[in-house]
């Protein structure tokens, strides 16, 4: 059914919610929402780019726990900040105009990890001023009445968001937080640790941007209200592709210049963020691809977010100057040897990386 927003919702009586009971693989977990006949509800599936997170399973004969009342299905709780923003929040638009809702129900993405809220989860929900509590489903439930909205945001094709979600976020995400901070900020990934994907020569990148009047900002060292205030205040925002730019994309505005520095040569994630910024903020972000070499986990069957890149800093500086984000002064290259940095990360993490060829095929 489609309401006044034009977005789809489905209301199921005696709906079953089944959380994942095993952690087999990154996708296609045996979990989901089922109607009273035991049929899998496709509208409740979670899209993550081209992949679906959930797959139908045979319902257990064990009677589920009964949950009385009317509840909103919120989709999937994700501990990854970027995917939390893009997927966990994506159905909350349906709170607009919903009557008599007792709670929001989330399935954990993994049975061993997302069964409790992280501090930033609760901080973010508070910024949205949600009218009802959010609960994690950790055992099979049968719900008297379950409202299932369509997924209104995500990555890939969902990165522009449906109008109902964009409007709801604009009205409800921290409307009282005023813009405060410097005019030019660089969103650094250097504080995230060596287990996250990175540009190996980011220290030299940051030094070049500091010379050009940017202030270094490590988002994870600040509260969400401070991050939002900075993003609303800046006139120029540059960042290496990552989750911080997804948050900016929810609170930014059209009178800003934005640069996204790719750290993955396929550009899928960078283009997702660019489309989000255009749809939500009305700003045209520049995507800069200046990757000389890239390494990914050698035994990962899918493209990894943990990949490591060496950037061509002189070429990046020229492209950013042409876009009006910095002066035209030439950028020096990094003095650090990327091979030594790569070896250090492999020693400290126990991971093995393999170089990716320019056509995206691992060497």
- Mean per-residue pLDDT pooled into runs of 10, the chain (363 residues): 68 94 62 91 91 78 88 95 96 94 94 82 97 95 97 96 97 96 96 79 94 96 97 98 97 97 92 98 96 84 74 96 93 84 86 74 34
Residue 323 phi/psi, 5-degree rounding, is: -85, -5
Residue 199 lies in a domain: yes
Number of domains in the chain: 2
**Helix, strand, coil percentages, rounded to 5, for the chain:** 30, 25, 45
In a domain, 168, yes or no: yes
Work out the angle at residue 314's Cα, subtended by the Cα atoms of residues 308 and 315, and round it to the nearest 5 degrees.
80
Give the HSE-up count for residue 204: Cα atoms under 13 Å, Cβ half-sphere. Answer: 18
Domain hosting 248: range is 184-356
Same-domain status, 162 and 236: no
| Residues 215, 243 within the same domain | yes
For residues 73 and 180, give the distance between their C-alpha atoms in angstroms, rounded to a whole number: 35
Residues 270 and 328 in one domain: yes
Mark which of 172, 194, 210 sits at the end of a domain: 172
Does one domain contain both 342 and 229? yes
Domain boundary among 144, 172, 200: 172
What was the pLDDT predicted at 360?
42
Statement to judge: residues 323 and 192 lie in one domain: yes
Contact between 336 and 291 under an 8 Å Cβ cutoff? The reply is no
Let me know if residue 2 belongs to a domain: no
| 252 & 313 share domain | yes
Whether 240 is covered by a domain: the verdict is yes
Is 361 within a domain? Answer: no
User: Is residue 188 domain-shared with residue 166, that is, in the same domain?
Assistant: no
Is there a single domain that holds both residue 88 and residue 220?
A: no
Judge if 192 and 281 occupy the same domain. Answer: yes
Query: Which of 172, 198, 232 is the endpoint of a domain?
Result: 172
Would you say residue 178 lies in a domain? no
- Phi, psi of 217, deg, nearest 5: -130, 120
pLDDT given for residue 22 in this prediction: 67
Q: At what angle are helices 243-251 and 268-281 packed, to 10 degrees?
A: 10
Q: Give the DSSP per-residue string, 112-146.
A: TTTTS--HHHHHHHHHTT-SS-EEE--S-EEEEEE
Same domain, 151 and 234: no
**Of 351, 313, 281, nearest in space to 199 by CA:** 313
**Are 160 and 191 in a shared domain?**
no
Let me know whether 209 and 304 are in one domain: yes
362 is a domain residue: no
Q: Indicate whether 201 belongs to any domain.
A: yes
Tell me, what CATH number does 315's domain have? 3.40.50
């Amino acid at each position: 059914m489609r309401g006044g927003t034009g977005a789809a919702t489905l209301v199921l009586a005696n709906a079953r919610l089944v959380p994942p009971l095993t952690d087999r693989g990154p996708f296609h977990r045996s979990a989901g929402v089922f109607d009273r006949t035991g049929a899998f509800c496709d509208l409740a599936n979670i899209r993550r780019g081209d992949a679906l997170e959930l797959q139908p399973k045979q319902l257990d004969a064990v009677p589920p726990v009964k949950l009385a009342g009317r509840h909103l299905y919120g989709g999937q709780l994700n501990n990854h900040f970027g995917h939390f923003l893009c997927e966990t929040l994506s159905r909350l638009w349906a709170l607009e105009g919903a009557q008599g809702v007792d709670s929001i129900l989330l399935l954990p993405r993994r049975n061993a990890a997302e069964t409790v809220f992280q501090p930033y989860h609760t901080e973010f929900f508070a910024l949205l001023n949600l009218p009802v509590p959010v609960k994690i489903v950790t055992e099979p439930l049968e719900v008297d009445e379950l409202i299932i909205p369509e997924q209104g945001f995500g990555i890939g094709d969902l990165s522009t968001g449906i109008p109902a979600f964009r409007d709801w976020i604009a009205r409800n995400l921290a409307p009282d937080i005023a813009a405060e901070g410097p005019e030019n900020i660089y969103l650094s990934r250097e504080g995230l640790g060596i287990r996250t994907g990175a540009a190996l020569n980011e220290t030299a990148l940051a030094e070049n941007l500091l010379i050009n009047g940017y202030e270094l900002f490590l988002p994870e060292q600040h509260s969400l209200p401070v991050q939002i205030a900075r993003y609303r205040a800046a006139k120029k925002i540059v960042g290496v592709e990552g989750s911080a730019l997804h948050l900016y994309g929810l609170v930014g505005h059209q009178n800003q210049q934005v640069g996204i520095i790719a750290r993955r040569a396929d550009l899928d994630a960078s283009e997702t963020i660019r489309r989000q910024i255009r749809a939500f903020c009305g700003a045209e972000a520049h995507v800069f691809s200046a990757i000389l070499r890239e390494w990914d986990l050698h035994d990962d069957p899918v493209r990894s977010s943990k990949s490591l890149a060496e950037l061509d800093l002189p070429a990046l500086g020229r492209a950013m100057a042409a876009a009006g984000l910095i002066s035209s002064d030439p950028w020096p290259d990094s003095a650090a040897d990327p091979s030594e940095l790569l070896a250090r990360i492999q020693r400290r993490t126990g991971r093995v990386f393999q170089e990716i060829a320019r056509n995206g095929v691992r060497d």
